[in-house]
Amino acid sequence: MSAAYTRRFEVVFLRCHPKGPKLSFTSAAKYLHKSTQFVKKWVARYKETKNVDDLPNRGLKQSSDIRENKMILRLFEKNPTLSLRKGQIFLARKGINVGTMALKRRLNEHGVKWQSTLSNRRGKSRKRHHRTTLAIPVPRCKPYRKCVVHNEVQAEKKTY
C-alpha cells in the first residue's frame, strides 16, 4: 500500500471509524500534518463509496479517436525504424494532428516499438571531443608487442 493510501485510511480512522478516537477535522489534520480540506475530502469520499481509492477516469481525454489510433499503430508496426518526429510529420500530412508525447503514449500502451532519437542530442559529440582532447595519453604496453618501456621493465625484473 502506498503512502498516499495509508494517509487517507488514517484520516478516516481518526475521524469517523467506530474504533477510532473520533477527532475533529482540525485536530486530525494537525495530527497528520495535513490540511483540513484534505481531511474533509477523504472523509466525504469514504462516506460516499466506503473506499479511499481515486475515482476512475480521472485523467486527460485522448487527443485521438479509435480510427486515428489504428492508423498510428499500423504506421509504426510497418516501420519500426521510424522516429516519433517523422511519424508525427507523416500523420500530419494525412490530416492527423497528434503530438510526439501522445504518439509515445499510444505506442507504449500497445507495446509497439519505434526508433529513439535521444542518442542524437545536440552538443553531445562536442562534449565528448572536448573530454578526449583534454585527456593525457597513457602509453599501454602489451606483452606480445615490442615496446621499449615494456622491455626495460622486463629487464629490471630479471636482474633482481
Tell me the domain boundaries of the chain.
3-49, 66-110
pLDDT digits (tens, 9 = 90+) for 14-59: 988 888 888 999 999 999 999 999 999 999 999 988 888 877 777 7
- Residue the block writes with cell 469520499: 45
Count CB-CB contacts under 10 A for residue 103.
Answer: 22
pTM of the shown model: 0.41
Low-confidence stretches of the chain (pLDDT beneath 50)? 132, 135
pLDDT of residue 113: 74
Q: Which of 157, 62, 56, 74 is nearest to 110 (CA)?
A: 74
Contact 100, 84 (CB under 8 A): yes
| Amino acid 36: pLDDT | 94
At 88 the pLDDT is 92
